[in-house]
Amino acid sequence: MAGRKYGLDLGTMNIRIFQGGHGLVVYEKNMIAIQRKKEVAAIGNDAFEMYERTPASIVISNPVRDGVIADINNMNKVAETLLKKCGCTTGFMRNNSFYLAVPSDVTEVEKRAYFDLIAHSAYNTHNIFVVEKPLAAALGENVDVKSKKGMMIVDMGAGTTEITVITMGGIVVSKLLKVGGNTINASICQLVKERHHLVIGDKTAEYLKLELGHAIPGQGRSKTVFGRDVITGLPSKAEVSDHLVFDSMKNYLFQVVRTIRNIMETIPPELSGDIIENGIYFTGGTTLIPELDRLFNASLRVKVVFAPKPLESTVRGLGVIMDHASDYKDLTFSLRDAAFE
């Protein structure tokens, strides 16, 4: 019996699954709740609902950290559960194919973990392929990655930011920064504690980022949030301004700008010319911060192009590769390739 094709984008905060012929079929939080150290209490969005509200007997974690699989056993449980949701079956007669997006700037051992995730699961298949994430993200935005013209793509995710220069279907240089949207959240928590003497959780920090986050300071907005008073230990509240949120994110944003500049200085002049002509492509959830295009355009003095659906670029790129497997065969690596043996 012919198998189906599945594309998996395993992000730090979200997992997206693309099924050949059906499109995006799963979009959930990449989280797992473990009860009494061994029992699965919840997975995906259900685990996220429990986050920061659990008793001591339940531990909630993200199997992916810093862009790579940090806990392959829990990642296997999450992947199997969510694949079942979209009708993916196991068994000897069902020879499914799996395409997984992997950061470019990671070690071969870390890349191998993506193969092992499926190879050691209940899915009986050797059709396991990895695709370098920047190439998939570019394809998801209808960029011709096989063009002789160079292009730069910046993927600003929750746990990492990857800046990559691509030409002729290959990667010239890629830099993975272990900072992202979660870095901003942690900074918001720290500044609220320092300036308002209030302890807040990650969910509240995410709310402040979404409501008040702005790449250009001085909007004059604020939100009331609740937490625990540092001094009394009692529940309390504070009025948090958008200036605080901007202060929380500016170091991260300027680090991205510096890294892009450094890469532009090291690549061949011809590629730099291509990037100036074509612009820099931005994707990833953190690019949803308002006015980010103005900030990067002014700081880099290069045209910037932002993905209309930045959270789906990579997984849709996997869909392109699955639907046109013969055209993009040279962009995939299989378990049998020497680079991963």
- The distance from CA 143 to its chain's CA centroid, rounded to whole angstroms, is 19
Residue in 341, 320, 267 with CA at minimum distance from that of residue 146? 320
Residue in 74, 67, 59, 73 with CA at minimum distance from that of residue 182? 67
Residue in 153, 159, 170, 169 with CA at minimum distance from that of residue 278? 153
| Known binding-site residue numbers | 158-160, 206-209
* Residue 279 contacts residue 304 (beta carbons within 8 Å): yes
Cα 219 to Cα 315: distance, rounded to the nearest angstrom: 34
Alpha-helical (H) ranges within 146-221 are 181-196, 202-212
* Residue 143 contacts residue 162 (beta carbons within 8 Å): no
| Known binding-site residue numbers for ATP | 158-160, 206-209
Whole-Å CA distances, 117 to 9, 26, 61: 13, 18, 17
Helix, strand, or coil (residue 327): coil
